[in-house]
Homo-oligomer: A and B are copies of this chain.
Amino acid sequence: MTAPLHEAHPTSPGRRLPDTQQGMRRRNLSRVMHTVNAEGPLSRAAVASHIGLTRAAVSTLVDELIRSGLLEELGPERPGRVGRPGSALALSGRGPAGIGAEVGVDHLAVCAVDLRGEVRARAVRHGVNRGRSPELVIGELTALVEQVVAAAEREGLWPAGLAVAVPGLVARDARTVVRAPNLDWHDTDLGALLSGDLPLAVDNEANFGGLAELWLGEGAPRDFLHVSAEIGIGGAVVVDGRLLRGTRGFAGELGHVPVRPEGPECACGGRGCLEQYAGEEAVLRAAGLAPGEHRVELLAERAAQGDKDVRRALRGAGTALGIALTGAVNLLDPQTVVLGGALAGLAPWLLPSLERELARRTAGPACSVTVSRLGPEGPLLGAAHSVVRGVLDDPAAVAGRP
């Protein structure tokens, strides 16, 4: 799988196609897809009025999208609308699908999402991946991908691309895992390990979680800091509806922001990083519990039962999160901070101390903190939806396939 998946977002103006008729046509095809996605089902006339093109121009674009299997006609619109009834257009439920995959520390998961955003097939395998060879793990992942693709094809869909979420730093080539300490992987080229010929994009799980929040969160803002945890603590910075990736693709490493500069040593080489106070191991240690599987569920259960040690440990983690987030909020001025992944389930016991630190350290109104409804599902859904968004952003790129 060596073909790079085109970026999940509109590229920046500097990198856009030249302003030719051909580039304009591709962007207008995308506008039609995005309009039907956001507002549909819609008649051709309604699409035309939304995007400010003539009815004739839109009809040509729509016909091309129907021929390519990206749009479908639902039949005449219900009466009651103004004007002659047109045939309502919807995104196709039998066209391309985004295949999302997640390599977790203790699970693998794959799903297929259609253009309408519905999960149409899914497969999960539980079991610890830490310390196993990338070849073995990716071999198992490939089997799950094949299983999900086959199920999707039985529903009349075809895979438009594969996006893989990993708990580690991913290079800007979108295929090399530079460092995933909780898997013990270094410089692992997933493009070489994955067989098949689907366009591939690998990304950090917190990034896909942040994108899921952007695309699927109800009333989600376009400027936010997404904080998530699996075993480590990850972050994703979304600015004006786009993920901030950084020069090497390593942006969002909130877990290694110094909280107490002379604090405990961290695997990253630093001291007193956020992960040393709010990472899973640190919280378990502070609560007097041993590491192991399903420890987040255990922490939530004990905290709900009123366990004093667990509650104190989570309060401490919330304080550390509040200190690190104060710095992040001062640098980024986001509209909100979203707690996702495993942190979402622990929010009731993290939030009071977290919000107290943010408020007492910020002049003026403190940044709001919200809890993700997607929780641990975010990264997998974000991965699959990134492929779907790629199709909406440039439908012409897949129009000739499969």
Which residue numbers of A lie inside 8 Å of B, CB to CB? 10-14, 16, 18-20, 24, 27-28, 31, 51-53, 179, 221, 223, 235, 237, 239-242, 244-254, 256-261, 267-271, 323-324, 326-328, 330-335, 360-364
Contact = CB atoms under 8 A, between A and B. Distances in A.
Contacts of A14: 10, 240-241
Nearest to A330: B253
B331 A258 contact: no
Nearest to A9: B13
A11 B252 CA distance: 24
Copies in the complex: 2
Closest 10 CB pairs of A and B: A246-B333, A270-B361, A257-B327, A253-B330, A251-B333, A10-B13, A269-B363, A250-B333, A247-B335, A18-B52
B13 A19 contact: no
A52 B20 CA distance: 9
Interface class of chain A by DSSP: loop
Contacts of A242: 12
Given A13-B16, A244-B332, A270-B360, 8 more contacts: A179-B364, A246-B334, A251-B331, A253-B330, A257-B326, A268-B361, A268-B363, A331-B331
Contact of A271 (B244, B256, B361): B361
Contacts of A270: 326, 360-363
A239 B239 contact: yes
A248 to B, nearest CB: 6
A266 to B, nearest CB: 9
Nearest to A181: B363
Contacts of A19: 24, 27-28, 31
Nearest to A252: B331
A28 B53 CA distance: 20
B333 A247 contact: yes
B256 A330 contact: yes
B261 A323 contact: yes
Given A241-B14, A270-B361, A361-B271, A333 B249 contact: yes
A267 B363 CA distance: 8
